[in-house]
Amino acid sequence: MSDFEPVLTEHIHQKDCHTLSFYKSVGGYTALEKVLKMNPAEVTQEVKDSNLRGRGGAGFPAGIKWGFIPKDTDKPKYLINNADESEPGTFKDRLLMNKVPHQMLEGMIIAAYAIGCQTSFIYIRGEFYKEFKMLEMAVDEAYESNLLGQNILGSNYNLDVVIHRGAGAYICGEETGLIESLEGKRGWPRIKPPFPAIEGYLQSPTIVNNVETLSCIPHIITRGASWFKSIGPEKGPGPRLFCISGRVNNPGVFEEPMGIALKDLIFERAGGIPDGKKLKAVFPGGSSSAILTAEEALDVNMDFDELVEKKTMLGSAGVIVMDETVDMVQACLNIARFYAHESCGQCTPCREGTGWLVKMLTRLVNGGGTPKDIDMIFEITDNIGGLIDFSKGSFGKTICPFGEAVAWPVRSFVEKFKDEFLAYLPKEKVVA
């Protein structure tokens, strides 16, 4: 693994790496030239063969998703680049947009060509204003060089890219909430099926892919599916941007092969924990993943399937590190408050349950908790996100996976650090 060379971030330290001329000088848009001579089914097949799995959170294989687009329809097809990046602990798409917007754009054009799309969107979170301006510049450059617009590079293929700003709502990162938002509505996730590939934006077949997923595409085309598959675990391979934040000496985005040991990420890449403190717990894949204790974290690889076995997930690869100074009840309350604020309010268990979690945890922190509260917290998480039994998959008590995204982490805090929750109970009420 030590001989791994960054792929997606190879050039980010170079001057003007965001410009079209720089990107072309390092081989940019040659993948597109190649693709425009292939037939779309071949492009999809190459991506399928690479085993590229989505970098947005769910880890669904990109090529298989593209393959769901109906072939026999007169409806227009849409591609949406999910640049909503709002999962706490995740800040990699922002880097890609700031430093190598053309890599992502080239990936978009290739994906759009593969699915037969002529209008595509970048849904970027509203707060990312600088990145929005950066993308505007990149898109303008691409139009000027006939990489977008009519008859791209003389191929008869036409594509427009529209940059659409969100307006502050975590749930618009969920693909159907995103689609509703793009349609000019509140970002209320839709009941699935139908999945967006069949009925998405304006009831037409739609593919939603993450910025990082799309950024991988040009490299797969240029270097081939088998090259990609050879990096890390074969079932979930490729380079991956790991975001590390929280209590570490050197937080940031690190590009590493899929499957790297979490302990190497924390102690080597991110320089370990400040002031010689001890590791306590880690979110391996954004705040929606169940936390790992220090012991679990030191013994796990950042691989989709291995993390599922450990009853958590790789998610958006947003690693949040907590050291021994962190109060786990306060941290749990912080996360619960985030979800209560961001619940879209459509499903009762989620809307009410997240509110209750915050109320109960606040009461506990303020010294007003009772021993029954701990069981009650478990009960509420069950009601929102189902009992955690990964072998049975998602329990689907809510319209979208946000329900699980709050239930799992909150539950993992209480299960794994129960002593700290009990310690907050007023002394005379503790029953042995």
Partner 1 sequence: MNSNGTPKQKFIFTDSGRMEKILSQYPDKRSATLPLLHLAQTQEGFITGAIIDAVAQYTEIHPAEVMDCVSFYTMFFRRPLGTNKLQVCQTLSCSLNGADDFVDHITQKYGTKPGETTSDGKFTLLKVECLGSCGTAPVIQINNDYHEGLSINELDKLLDSIP
Ligand X SMILES: Cc1cc2nc3c(=O)[nH]c(=O)nc-3n(C[C@H](O)[C@H](O)[C@H](O)COP(=O)(O)O)c2cc1C
CB 211 within 8 A of CB 85: yes
359 binds partner 1 (CB under 8 A): no
Q: How far is CA 41 from the centre of its chain?
A: 27
Candidate ranges 89-97, 130-138, 193-201, 346-354; the one touching ligand SF4 (CB under 6 A): 346-354
Residues 374-413 that bind partner 1 (CB under 8 A): none
To partner 1, the closest distance from the beta carbon of 49 in angstroms equals 32
60 binds ligand X (CB under 6 A): yes
CA–CA separation, 255 vs 55, rounded Å?
13
Greatest Cα-to-Cα distance within the chain, rounded to the nearest angstrom: 79
312 binds ligand X (CB under 6 A): no
162 binds partner 1 (CB under 8 A): yes
Q: What residue type is assigned to position 301 of the chain?
A: N
CB 407 within 8 A of CB 388: yes
- Please identify which residue in 46, 87, 323, 373 interacts with ligand X, judged by CB under 6 A: 87
CA–CA separation, 205 vs 71, rounded Å?
10
70 binds ligand SF4 (CB under 6 A): no
Contacted entry of ligand SF4, partner 1, ligand X, none for residue 346, CB cut-off 5 to 8 Å set by kind: ligand SF4
To partner 1, the closest distance from the beta carbon of 418 in angstroms equals 20
Distances (CA, A) of 276 to 132, 182, 328, 337: 40, 47, 19, 30
Contacted entry of ligand X, ligand SF4, partner 1, none for residue 209, CB cut-off 5 to 8 Å set by kind: ligand X
116 binds ligand X (CB under 6 A): no
| DSSP-derived secondary structure for 17-82 | TTSHHHHHHTTTTHHHHHHHTS-HHHHHHHHHHHT-B-SSSS--BHHHHHHTS-SS--S--EEEEE
Residues 70-99 that bind partner 1 (CB under 8 A): 76, 85-91, 93-94
Question: For ligand SF4, which is the closer residue by CB, 297 or 340?
Answer: 340
Contacted entry of ligand X, partner 1, ligand SF4, none for residue 60, CB cut-off 5 to 8 Å set by kind: ligand X
CB 148 within 8 A of CB 160: yes
Binding site for ligand SF4 (CB under 6 A): 171, 189, 343-347, 350-351, 398-400, 402-403
